[in-house]
Amino acid sequence: MKKFSAVVVVTVFMIAMLMTGCRRGGDDTSTLLVKVENDDRSRIPNATVVLGDSNGSMIESKTTDSHGEATFSNPPANATVTAAATMSCSTYTDKDIFVRYDVNVSTVTAGLDLCDGRSAAAGVDIINVNITNIPAEATRYHVQWGGRSQYQYGTIISGAGTEQIEVGTHDLQSDGKVSIVVVADDSSYLPISYGVLTDITPISGMTVTIAANQVFTNTIQYQLNNIPATAKSIIRYIWESRKQKADEWGGVGLYFANLTTTGTSTAISVPYIPDFGDKFEYSAWLELDQNNNGSIDSSARIFRVGDLLEDQTFDMSQVPSIPINLTITGNNTATPTFSWSGGDPSAHVIAINAYTAEYYFYFWASPARTSVTFPELPDTLAAFRPTAITNLYVDSYRYDMFTSYADYESKIERYENGTWIIPAVYTIFGSGGRYSTTQTLAPALSKTAAPSMKTKRTNRFGMPR
């Protein structure tokens, strides 16, 4: 069964000057070092790295060496960097692609997520999980575990279930142990009960039993202000991390959706699991119908991370302007162009999500842009070229820890190399527009089968990996 590492987030980001130095197009003394890593930070040799210009046109492609590195001389300003690789996993072949536009730093860490983010040599312990006492009103459950927050869904049979989970070194908490949480969902996929097993030492082949009949009785309050009139529903989310490693985010996420909203402000209760987390992510997400045609076409959200479990206030007027007028030209070609308008100069980065019937691509670019063209790829990467984009999302993000796109670009590489520390408390403001060629927005990635390609392109800070 394929696991899905939570969005929101797990890792991206020694010499500081190498991380912060800017380049000038045409300076023949400049270089660009691209390091290709899997999600467990193991380097990936024989990956293909493509250097392109600001329009994505290919300048040169190379293969990473035994250290997972490729170096390019005299890269252009606002370069496009693409990295792609294929890896044989235990029961399937996985592949992933990384794309970042507007690169103006001397080092880029291209993070891929192959074989659940584990290198081929990584050791794995198999734990059998027996789930009991699942409430009758539950229609499914999911199991979450590990420092990197793996989770997988299961089917209920006579109030019980059985799962087999894989725990690798990268999944362990800072104390070398692992915690396992089972959450039962109702027919609307909303959590209704849970069971917890904390801080166990994983032993391959061991069996544990978790009763999933604890009812959510503890809550905190989210106060949402300045809700736009176009808001149709609210998604409230809380993530509880337990004994995380310094550069990871692990624990359990609870998602409560489909609250209808009227008026400009509201207070809502958010259940949580008591005595579990020691760091928390809070999220308020609005689903919007800007065209007032009965279809959700955009979103506005705020994420906040802190060390204390406490009530939250979200001012929804602080999110960036929503990208609008999303279009796709050159669809059914190898290099379609994605365009939009309504950019926000206060934003720090733009994320472009493009779906085909089989693949999910996730790109990052400067907020100054209003379009990107899918990067030109060599024939050796023909399998990574898009075919018939069906859905396009364009998201605009602003962080309270950055001052500009250049600051953002520099700090994520300094984070990767241990020369910048993420603040203990921070907030991310986001907005997004949606477009579909079929008028049906793409569903979430399957969590029960290995997709041909998936891209987890964010770590726990919402930053590109």
Distances (CA, A) of 366 to 7, 20, 77, 370, 397: 21, 17, 13, 9, 10
The domain in which residue 135 lies consists of 124-215
**pLDDT reported for residue 432:** 94
What's the domain count of the chain? 1
pTM: predicted TM-score of the whole model, two decimal places: 0.84
Instruction: Tell me the mean pLDDT in the region 133-137.
Output: 96
H-helix or E-strand spanning residue 446: none
What's the pLDDT band for 150 if we cut at 50, 70, 90?
confident
Query: Does position 450 have pLDDT exceeding 90, yes or no?
Result: no
**pLDDT reported for residue 107:** 95
Q: What is the four-CA torsion angle of 310, 316, 321, 325, rounded to 10 degrees? A: 110
In a domain, 362, yes or no: no
What's the pLDDT band for 257 if we cut at 50, 70, 90?
low
**pLDDT reported for residue 21:** 34
What's the pLDDT band for 114 if we cut at 50, 70, 90?
confident
Residue among 139, 216, 179, 114 nearest 465 (CA): 114
> For 346-379, what is each residue's pLDDT tens digit?
999 999 999 887 788 889 999 999 999 999 999 9
In a domain, 134, yes or no: yes
Distances (CA, A) of 164 to 130, 156, 182, 270, 456: 9, 14, 13, 30, 23
Greater confidence (457 vs 68) lies with 68
Instruction: Tell me the mean pLDDT in the region 177-203.
Output: 92
Query: Does position 276 have pLDDT exceeding 70, yes or no?
Result: yes
Dist. CA 353–CA 91, nearest whole Å? 27
Phi-psi map region of 78: left, alpha, beta (phi>0 left; psi -120 to 50 alpha): left
In a domain, 388, yes or no: no
Dist. CA 116–CA 364, nearest whole Å? 22
Structure tokens, 167: 């725990």
In a domain, 159, yes or no: yes
Contact 322, 298 (CB under 8 A): yes
**pLDDT reported for residue 424:** 86
What's the pLDDT band for 403 if we cut at 50, 70, 90?
very high
Query: Does position 149 have pLDDT exceeding 90, yes or no?
Result: no
Highest mean pLDDT: which range of 3-12, 22-31, 54-63, 257-266? 54-63
> For 4-53, what is each residue's pLDDT tens digit?
333 333 222 222 222 333 343 444 459 999 999 987 788 999 999 999 99
In a domain, 278, yes or no: no
In a domain, 85, yes or no: no
Residue corresponding to tokens 């859905």: 391
- CATH code of the domain covering residue 154: 2.60.40
Residue corresponding to tokens 């009785």: 217
Looking only at Cα atoms, what is the longest distance across the chain?
69
> For 155-168, what is each residue's pLDDT tens digit?
999 999 999 998 88
End-to-end CA distance of the chain: 24
In a domain, 346, yes or no: no
In a domain, 228, yes or no: no
Dist. CA 81–CA 53, nearest whole Å? 9
Q: Read out DSSP for 219-271? A: EEEEEEES--TTEEEEEEEEEEE-S--TT---EEEEEEEEEE--SS-EEEEEE
Instruction: Tell me the mean pLDDT in the region 223-237.
Output: 93
Dist. CA 441–CA 29, nearest whole Å? 47
